[in-house]
A and B are shown apart, each in its own frame.
Chain A
Amino acid sequence: MLVPITYNLRSLFVRKTSLLLTVFGIGATVAIVSGILALQQGFKTMFVAGGRDDVAVFLRPGANSEGDSQFSRDRGLQLIKNVPEIAVGEHGPEASMEAYLAVLLERSGGGLTNIPLRGVQPATFEIRGDEVKIVEGRNFKPGTDEVIIGKRLVDRIQGCRIGDSVRLNTTPFVVVGVFDHVGSFGGEIWGDLDRFCTTMGRYGPNRVIARLKPGTVIGAADPTKAMFSETPIPPVPGSMADRLRDDPVIPAKVMSEAQYLSAQTVFLTIALISLGAMLGVVMGLAAIFTATNTMLSALAARSREIGILLAMGYRPIPIFLSFLFEAVVLGLIGGVVGCLLALPFNGIRAGTMNFQTFTEMAFAFRVTPFVLIVAVTFSLVLGLLGGAWPAWRAARMRPTQAMRRV
């Protein structure tokens, strides 16, 4: 026969201070772990958002990101002509050469940061379609010293409002518009490819992007796996990626944009998840100790009640389960409090450096359902581990001893 649940629930609320302190102790632990997860989710969703499967990214062989990659302008053009899978629109192939460079700019609050600068060709807007929207002002005119600014940068970076001028190397560029994009482009500065290359003294674009004809199979190996593999992972034999890898004229590494973007945050993801796991384990230990303390003190205060329960004929196992249940409820309340503490972080804007691209990413914390599920599970485990020993002790009491104790 099980001990009635109401017995435990009511007992929990007898000592309000103790309950409150324990719950907030567990809550703080859960909040920290979910905060770190929310950070990871935030930049991950931002970075991966907008990654398309029908857009191919061409890099120099061996390059892992566009920062590593480099083509000369001629070779870029030749590459575009060389790939029959590229879709053809009204103005020719839907392919664009893009230059990418981290530039040092001043933050609004002071300090320097690396902001991605992207030189694009008109075809980029054709490929992006409605994904890139001008929300204020107008687009830059090709061939001029004008730039448009990602919406997420407007308040973070000095001199990034319409009419301001951003000095790149020796040339001032005028900000003429603000654009928005759900993904990482929303934190970039865009301008004309050739103007950027000339100003920076670069000889060509970093990558080529192109919309592919429907039904094209790229067949690239998973770039994340390939980065961590000591031997090269070959693309699907006979696929477009396989052919371009060994192309005698312009060898290139090609992958879908979705694949490309998912590989760009691997290091930060690993770093944050390890930090979260480490803090979870270490702080979790402290939280388990607290929960054990609380349960032990509850036990001591109620040893007479336990004696009575035993004398009434309750078996040790139901008593064990009953106290374990109480601890789990304690953990759960802590978990809920932790989630409530973490929720206000949802949407808070922050910026941190992505070590892989060496640029700042502006993003928002995202307390996703995944984060909440992890948080609540974590708190249940804390309660369970913290309650195990006290519940075991309760179950092993002898009725006479328990009742005699004052």
Chain B
Amino acid sequence: MLPFKLVRKNLLRRPLRATLTVLSLTVAIFLICFLRTLITTLTAGVEHADSRRLAAMSSTGLFVELPLSYQQKIDAVEGVERTTKFQWFGGYYRSMKGFFAQFAIDGEAMFAMYPECEVSPEQQASFLHTRNGCIVGDALAADSKFDFKLGQTIQINSPLHPTPGNQAWDFVVCGIYHSKSPNFDNRTLFFHWEYFEETLKGEGHPPGVGVYAIRVKPDADIPAVIANVKGLFENGPQRVDCNTEAEFQRQFVTMFGNLPLFVGWIGTGVLIAIFLACVNTMIMSMREQLSEIGILKSLGFTDRSMFGLLIAQSFTLCCVGGALGLLLAWSTQRGVENLLGTSFPGYRILPATFALAAVIAMLLGLFTGLAPAWRVAKLRCVEALRSVD
């Protein structure tokens, strides 16, 4: 039998200590959610990739442009349904503080190939009819740094693609899109390829294509399509690497190098620190309860129920702290997302992360109580009664 009232009374014996321990747990569980989400956000694109989409880019590097003529050749490959092109613009709004992602695209083809990008039909039509029109993500438009409004003309400077007169580029915001899936960023600006190409003609070096997105037919043999696309350009002028969208995103994640590993180390550090803090609290409260436990034991309470008494305390403490931590992580999600802004877009805590953090809190509750509980269970009544705090 477990005296539950005793568990509660013991926990509240020192309210300040209980509160402080719970608060440190809250902080730790919040941090674990935060750090884990940094990693899941990086890999979100891999998990939500469209299995019918492929990406073709230069096998040399991200900054090598592919000729425009490649599109026709890829379109002709058996199993290819449609292709569209992207070029990284690399511009900023006002100063480098306002750096965010922009791409030059084929409007119609992109809407057809990316159903996860949702724009109202009127805005879509207005975008397609405006030469220097653009669409921006809803999160980008709402960002206080930008605050882009429909119909507004915005100036973007691009160090990578300066206009012939070295002036800023003008774009008219024709639409604000909403992204239905984490693999489609909601903090990006898309504008017309024609406008891009015509403006740069004056420089004498027409722009090339960064990435060709390819949609295959439903019954296409994907490995064969990939091999055929690669084979087309094996002898140049630019060799091409073609991959599924998931693989493309995965390669992108590996480019971050040891960063995910560092985040893992930090998480481990947080766990160790909080584990030690909880063990400390439990040992302190066990010491204070020793003489009572002696009395309980001499009254006939078993070793096992005394063991349970201590574990129940640490478990309750950790569950309360963990629950508050989850609540904190959940309620600050929007704030953190805005804080990270365009430098780390897409911060979204997954249900799996919440579950992981909850399990960690419960395990902490079990393990931190273990050492003191063991000691209490082993204790003989006389020793316990004799002990002075």
Contacts and interface: CB of A to CB of B under 8 A. Distances in A.
B380 interface: no
Interface string A21-52: 11011101101100110010000000000000
A68 B159 contact: yes
Contact of A114 (B61, B157, B160, B235): B61
Contact of B251 (A18, A111, A170): A111
Contacts of A39: 262
Contacts of A35: 262, 265-266, 269
B63 A228 contact: no
A35 B264 CA distance: 13
A392 interface: no
Contacts of A230: 94-95
Contacts of B159: 62-65, 68-69
A353 B257 contact: yes
B79 interface: no
Nearest to B96: A227
Contacts of B234: 170
B280 interface: yes
A271 interface: yes
Given A279-B31, A353-B256, A360-B257, A25 B94 contact: no
A140 interface: no
A93 interface: no
Nearest to A111: B254
Given A203-B205, A228-B97, A293-B21, A350 B257 contact: yes
Given A290-B24, A292-B20, A113 B273 contact: no
Given A68-B159, A112-B255, A290 B62 contact: no
A350 B157 CA distance: 34
A28 B272 contact: yes
Interface stretch (B3-11, B188-196, B236-244, B308-316): B236-244
5 contacts: A170-B239, A289-B21, A293-B280, A353-B257, A358-B63
Interface residues of A, number: 68
B355 interface: no
Contacts of B389: 300-301, 406
Interface of A: 17-18, 21-22, 24-26, 28-29, 31-32, 35-36, 39, 60-65, 67-69, 101-104, 107, 110-114, 168-170, 200-201, 203, 227-230, 267, 271, 279, 282-283, 285-287, 289-290, 292-294, 296-297, 300-301, 350-353, 355, 358, 360, 406
A146 B97 CA distance: 40
Contact of B60 (A67, A168, A287, A352): A168
A200 B60 contact: yes
A35 B273 CA distance: 15
A162 B2 CA distance: 71
B227 interface: no
Contacts of B31: 279, 282-283
Nearest to A360: B257
The residue among B30, B254, B257, B274 with the most chain A CB atoms within 10 A of its own CB is: B257
Contacts of B343: 267, 271, 355
User: Range of interface residues on chain B?
Assistant: 35 or more
Given A112-B254, A296-B16, 15 more contacts: A24-B273, A28-B276, A32-B266, A64-B159, A104-B241, A168-B60, A169-B60, A200-B64, A228-B96, A285-B24, A286-B24, A289-B20, A289-B24, A350-B261, A351-B258
B96 A104 contact: no
B288 to A, nearest CB: 8
A294 B238 CA distance: 66
B279 interface: yes
A73 B234 CA distance: 28
Contacts of B272: 24, 28
A350 B255 CA distance: 13
B96 A293 contact: no
B99 to A, nearest CB: 8
A374 B283 CA distance: 31
Given A285-B23, A285-B27, A18 B237 contact: no
B281 interface: yes
Given A282-B31, A352-B258, A102 B61 contact: yes
Contacts of B284: 18, 293-294, 297
B273 A286 contact: yes
B27 A283 contact: yes
Contacts of B23: 285-286, 289
A228 B95 contact: yes
A13 to B, nearest CB: 16
Contact of B254 (A25, A68, A107, A285): A107
Interface string B6-45: 0000000010110011011001101100000000000000
B62 A104 contact: yes
Nearest to A171: B236
A179 to B, nearest CB: 21
B166 interface: yes
A353 B255 contact: yes
Interface in B270-290: 270, 272-274, 276-277, 279-281, 283-284, 288
A79 B112 CA distance: 47
A313 to B, nearest CB: 27
